A and B are shown apart, each in its own frame.
Chain A
Amino acid sequence: MTTDTTSLRPSAARPRTEDTPASVRGRRAHAQRRAQLTAWAFLAPVALYLVLFYAYPLWKNIELSLKHYTVASFVSGNAPFVGLQNFADVFSSATFAPAIWHTAVFVLVSILVQFALGLALAVFFHNSFPLSGLLRALFLVPWLLPLLVSASTWSWMMNSDSGIVNAFLGSVGIGQINWLTSPDWSLFAVLVANIWIGIPFNLVIMYSGLQGIPGELYEAAALDGANGWQRFWRVTFPLLRPVTAITLLLGFVYTLKVFDIIWIMTKGGPSGSSTTLAIWSYQLGFGSLLPDFSSAATVGNVLIVIALVVGLIYARVQRRLEV
């Protein structure tokens, strides 16, 4: 604050005595430079922060993926530059195609179901009724729990032999399903847990989006004879489009990097059947006794590129909505 006043006041308060064109130009340039410096001074903390905590780690990550790091060269720092060899290795790995497929299924199914249920609940709670506030608060519980707690609880519930889910299924005559220990079910199991955790986020954002729609529109629609279904598809849904776009983008990025839930519930297994890119990256870097930093960073970079591409698509869509 003080920098602002001291740097700007003298130039503004200086009396206009010598009005030769040259000196005016000089003074103007001087004042401009000062203003610029001030601007930079204001920008510096955030720029420094971005460079230190975002750009530098990102750069290090790219560097890790372009060199061949072993534990020895990690310490000595003389890892040879190998260009895109790490990427070639990752892409040709037997784990890659299944991991991409699991990631795609996990992310797309998660955000679609979360969004649909979140929106449905938001519309439901938009009509205030007795106890609706309390019920809405209860729906936020999954969000408030630490991921470690909710994932562990899901893991216990879905235990093959002693879990409550199988106990329930058994009581209605369905045999034991190995939710977490069968390659056919593990991805489904972690999806269910992740959807449960993601609903509150979608509910809250869509609910706030609903509140931004003026009530007169509904009145007008009702007067025109629109039924509830038509009111939703013709009024609510189109007006929620901007909120929808940002919810889906955030949901995508958030789901893409989901790690805790899967790691706690299945460790990416059995035999890789729930290994997503995020899990694979962790396994490479920290999962075995011998860390493979280069491959881990390479997979991490693939994740970043995917997030970036989706971000660009979002920006495209957003621009079209504005026009």
Chain B
Amino acid sequence: MRTKTVVRIGALVAAASVVAGLTGCSAQSSGSGSSGAASGTYTFWDPYPQYDASSAWGKLVAQCGKDAGVTVKRTGYDTSDLTNKALLAGQQGKSPDVLLVDNPVVSTLAQSGILTDTATSGLQTGDIAENILGAGVIDGKTYGVPIGANTLALYYNPKVLEAAGVDPSSVKDWDSLTAALAKVKAAGKKGITFSGINTEEGSFQFLPWFWGADADLTKLDSAGAEEALQLWKGWIDEGYAPNSVIQNTQTTSWQEFQSGDFAFGENGTWQKDAAKEMGAGVITIPAKDGGAAPVPTGGEFFTIPVQKDDARYATTKKIVECLSSGDDVVTTDNTLNYVAASKDLQQQQLSGNADLKTWVEAVSAARARTGDNLGVQYPVISEQLWTAVQKAESGSASPSDALQSAQQAVDAKLQK
């Protein structure tokens, strides 16, 4: 009898703890960023686990440390993991000396108080383009410097367009784009693919159209926003865009484009080499009434987390400046498929590779998602935006209803 009770209790504990395992991970941690003050070792976290110490990036980081007279211990984390890793490390007072994070996360980390602003760290923002730096500016304080920027544009497949009798240069605004899609469909090919998924990627991909209709993130239910959502919804309904865009990540959307059946694919700077390989061209995303639409900036920021020992910032600053504005930054940006963050460096990049013209243009028209002092309001808005996009795409609500309830949800959440 007694053993049975024990077994029973054991089963209960096991049952409860299996579930606890799922949620417990939020409370568990493994802060490994020890920072021995005077040891001459500086810790460096980035979201590039694909590069090891023998890669160009790994060597550059080590070299910049050597130039500053210290050893840099670099660790690459998965980008989705890095925010929580950084918060946990901050909680335990074990923040790395340098933290390279995705730009929309900077405001979240700054809000948590684990980042120094440039006034404390002494980082120079110099001639960095304002629209790229915007993601790191909150309430007039700057919390980091960009390594470079990537963004979105429209790739096109010349073979498909030619078969349909469409000249890519004729695509100037939404109407001419939709007309081109109609021609492509009539020619038996597929129109356009993008990522309309219910994650940050979905918002990222929708923003060029949203901003291209002069909509503003502080008012999701504006007429412009509705037109942008109606545009996407119309493409899906007409069969210009496949139904799978609803669950497409940017990667699966790219795979669709690479199948060779699609005329257009909305995707990022990071695919430009693959695009070249398959002979695809690229144009900027058109705004509703013509011209290049404002696109959201992607790419990482160098940030300097708060340390107990103020004396460390001087050396950390040297390392970051070496990486963000040294001679190698153009090479680095080329390797990482980024457009450099300042106008001068962009020209330098262009003179080496004229193919980048569209991308430099796109980045010049780009905006930071957390810019305009939205800061940590952006994640709340973005979540409601991608939810509204999903509702409209899947037909569970009309674009105007979806956007209205999105704005109501934002108001309710931000009031709290």
- Give me the interface of A with B, judged by CB distance under 8 Å: 50, 54, 57-58, 60-61, 64, 70-72, 74-77, 155, 159-162, 176, 178, 180-183, 246, 249, 253-254, 256-257, 259, 266-273, 278, 281, 285-291, 293, 296-297, 299-301, 303-304, 307-308, 310-312, 314-315, 318, 322
- Contact digits for B372-414, partner A, Cβ 8 Å, 1 yes 0 no: 0000101110110001001101111100000000000000000
Q: A60-B27, A160-B242 are in contact. Are A288 and B383 (CB under 8 A)?
A: yes
* A307→B83 contact, CB < 8 A: no
Contacts of A178 in B (CB 8 A): 243, 246, 394
Q: A289-B105, A300-B23 are in contact. Are A307 and B15 (CB under 8 A)?
A: yes
Contacts of B12 in A (CB 8 A): 308, 311-312, 315
Identify which of A61, A291, A311 contacts B23 (C-beta below 8 A): A61
Q: A271-B387, A271-B394, A318-B8 are in contact. Are A303 and B19 (CB under 8 A)?
A: yes
Identify which of B243, B379, B393 contacts A290 (C-beta below 8 A): B379
* B26→A61 contact, CB < 8 A: yes
Give the shortest distance, in Å, between B314 (CB) and chain A (any CB). 24
Contacts of B379 in A (CB 8 A): 288-290
- Contact digits for B100-118, partner A, Cβ 8 Å, 1 yes 0 no: 0000110011011110000
Report how far A162 CA is from B262 CA in the complex, Å: 13
* A270→B394 contact, CB < 8 A: yes
Contacts of B197 in A (CB 8 A): 267, 269
* A267→B23 contact, CB < 8 A: no
Q: A75-B113, A289-B108 are in contact. Are A304 and B8 (CB under 8 A)?
A: no
* B376→A303 contact, CB < 8 A: no
* A161→B244 contact, CB < 8 A: yes
Q: A290-B108, A322-B4 are in contact. Are A270 and B390 (CB under 8 A)?
A: yes
* A281→B23 contact, CB < 8 A: yes
Report how far A253 CA is from B198 CA in the complex, Å: 27
Contacts of B27 in A (CB 8 A): 57, 60-61, 64, 297
Report how far A287 CA is from B19 CA in the complex, Å: 19
Report how far A264 CA is from B108 CA in the complex, Å: 26
Give the shortest distance, in Å, between A126 (CB) and chain B (any CB). 26
B11 touches A (CB below 8 Å) = yes
Identify which of B19, B246, B247, B397 contacts A253 (C-beta below 8 A): B19
The segment from B84-92, B162-170, B274-282, B356-364 that touches chain A is: B84-92
Contacts of B378 in A (CB 8 A): 289
Beta-carbon contacts under 8 Å, B9-41 to A: 11-13, 15-24, 26-28
Identify which of B20, B242, B243, B382 contacts A289 (C-beta below 8 A): B382
* B394→A267 contact, CB < 8 A: no
B200 touches A (CB below 8 Å) = yes
Q: Which residue of chain B has the shortest Cβ distance to A89 in the bound complex?
A: B416
Report how far A322 CA is from B90 CA in the complex, Å: 53
Give the shortest distance, in Å, between B232 (CB) and chain A (any CB). 13
Contacts of B104 in A (CB 8 A): 289
* A257→B244 contact, CB < 8 A: no
* B19→A54 contact, CB < 8 A: no
* B87→A71 contact, CB < 8 A: yes
Q: Given known contacts A76-B113, A181-B246, what 15 new A-B pairs fall within 8 Å (CB)?
A: A61-B23, A71-B108, A249-B15, A253-B19, A267-B247, A269-B247, A271-B387, A288-B382, A291-B87, A297-B23, A297-B27, A301-B23, A310-B15, A315-B12, A318-B8
Contacts of B244 in A (CB 8 A): 159-162, 181
Contacts of B387 in A (CB 8 A): 271-272
* A290→B20 contact, CB < 8 A: no
- List 9 interface pairs A-B (beta carbons < 8 Å), by A numbering: A249-B15, A267-B199, A269-B247, A270-B394, A286-B80, A289-B378, A304-B20, A307-B18, A311-B16
* A71→B112 contact, CB < 8 A: yes
Give the shortest distance, in Å, between A47 (CB) and chain B (any CB). 12
Give the shortest distance, in Å, between B307 (CB) and chain A (any CB). 14
Give the shortest distance, in Å, between A323 (CB) and chain B (any CB). 11
Identify which of A76, A266, A272, A304 contacts B19 (C-beta below 8 A): A304
Q: A75-B112, A161-B243 are in contact. Are A314 and B11 (CB under 8 A)?
A: yes
Contacts of A312 in B (CB 8 A): 12
Identify which of B11, B16, B84, B394 contacts A183 (C-beta below 8 A): B394
